[in-house]
Amino acid sequence: MMTTSEKVRSTIREANTEAIRRMLEAEPVLIDVVPASEAIPELQEGMILHAGPPVDWGNMCGPMRGAVTGIAVFEGWATDLTEAERLAESGAFHLKPNHDFGAVGPMTGVTTLSQPVLVVENRARGNYAFCTINEGLGKVMRFGGNDASVLKRLGWLRDTLGPALGSALSVGKGVELKPLVARGLTMGDEMHQRNLGCSSMLLRTLAPNLARTVDDRAELAEILSFIGSNDQFFLNLAMVLGKAIMDPVSGIKGSSVVTAMSRNGTDFGIRVSGLGDEWFTAPVEMPEGLYFPGFSADDANPDMGDSTIVETIGLGGFAMAAAPAVAGFVGVGEPSTAADFTRTMGEITLTQNPEWTIPALDYQGVPTGIDIRLVVETGITPTINTGIAHCKPGIGQVGAGVVRAPLACFEKALKALATQLGVR
């Protein structure tokens, strides 16, 4: 006869085995780019999806407010930022997390009905995930930028790049993303703060069909230049493939595997497989890192974005060993210390991904399957590579760094799992 504790441990063991199986069997493929309203039928006028766990206007940080007001003007719901702010204060906009709609978004992560979204199908499970297109660096909406230049670029993404990518992807069978990531890891990418290899390979993959489907040569040149000049173009794809991998892992009773980590600039939240869609939150922490000339830590906003889905699947800070150059960029130390981050993340994960290996670690796989029990037991929290936004709306990115997921999120989740399994 098994004791209660033995039964509980057996339940968790079997549930986590299934969770890891679903993670590793995933086959994310980029299949289309469509307006968000087509991908997410629930999106309506006045509805704004944002990064992180739920947050209302009153508790939103500066950049998030900047993005909300900017996107309201972009969608034509307000004539200017002042009116948009007044409408937001009156509760005129419906604010919801991306994660509730199969979507993710970097930094502020605002997603509204007319924005084009990348569509990724997980062919192993038949589910879909969505993410907006990366806008480039500097003054952009994901960092809270909202002036005319930001809105003009969003208009170009909506009217030119999005439809062109959709047409190019309609020729062919889509772009398999796991092999791209595997090669990116051998080219110095960790897929959060460095996407140079994957962005280049994606452009190489898409260019022939873009050339076949875009008739205007000047427009084609502009598209190729935009993708080719943005080293982080692949970031949004790394995120959406992560969402496509992790959504089917949710809801396995008893599983202690983390299925999402995300932050809204106010709170950090995690979801755990056995606990479904419930968020376990704690105040988000400040990133530590390096700043662009003219900016300092005094300008920084607390951490923000759905991009932590990248760490949730074993990339980003978990794959730092693959990207020693990133260690210097985010200011955590010498490039030779990069492998330490990956090894440490191995302390809080259940396995390694045999398809995503790191040459510098003798082809060990990236640490995969964050287990809340291991996080609470060791006190080691996930390392996240991140961009740093200015704390005031409308300014944009001011640096890059590293932030830790708050331990309290994992402690709360552990107590909830114990309650669910009847041992608390």
- Rule CB under 8 A: which residues touch other proteins? 5, 8-9, 12-13, 256, 373, 376-379, 411, 414-415, 417-418, 421, 423-424
Cβ proximity of 236 and 310 under 8 Å: no
Nearer to other proteins, 13 or 21 (CB): 13
Closest separation in Å from C-beta 7 to other proteins? 10
Nearer to other proteins, 129 or 417 (CB): 417
Structure tokens at 217: 């040569």
Q: How far apart are CA 388 and CA 332, in angstroms?
A: 14
**Of 348, 271, 263, residue with least CA distance to 307:** 263
Nearer to other proteins, 9 or 123 (CB): 9
Nearer to other proteins, 49 or 376 (CB): 376
Q: What H or E segment, with its residue span, contains residue 366?
A: strand 364-370
Nearer to other proteins, 183 or 424 (CB): 424
Nearer to other proteins, 50 or 373 (CB): 373
Closest separation in Å from C-beta 138 to other proteins? 40
Nearer to other proteins, 160 or 420 (CB): 420
Cβ proximity of 88 and 58 under 8 Å: no
Closest separation in Å from C-beta 16 to other proteins? 10
Closest separation in Å from C-beta 331 to other proteins? 21
Nearer to other proteins, 77 or 410 (CB): 410
Start-to-end CA span in the chain (Å): 21
**Of 7, 1, 2, residue with least CA distance to 422:** 7
Cβ proximity of 178 and 244 under 8 Å: no
Residue with the two structure tokens 């114990």: 418
Closest separation in Å from C-beta 422 to other proteins? 10
Closest separation in Å from C-beta 402 to other proteins? 19
Q: How far apart are CA 105 and CA 142, in angstroms?
A: 8
Cβ proximity of 128 and 122 under 8 Å: yes
Closest separation in Å from C-beta 259 to other proteins? 18
Closest separation in Å from C-beta 1 to other proteins? 17
Cβ proximity of 19 and 249 under 8 Å: yes
Return the half-sphere exposure (C-beta side, CA atoms, 13 A cut-off) of residue 361: 28
Q: How far apart are CA 424 and CA 421, in angstroms?
A: 8
Cβ proximity of 295 and 382 under 8 Å: no
Nearer to other proteins, 171 or 423 (CB): 423
Closest separation in Å from C-beta 376 to other proteins? 5
Residue 132: Cβ within 10 Å count: 29
Q: How far apart are CA 57 and CA 324, in angstroms?
A: 39
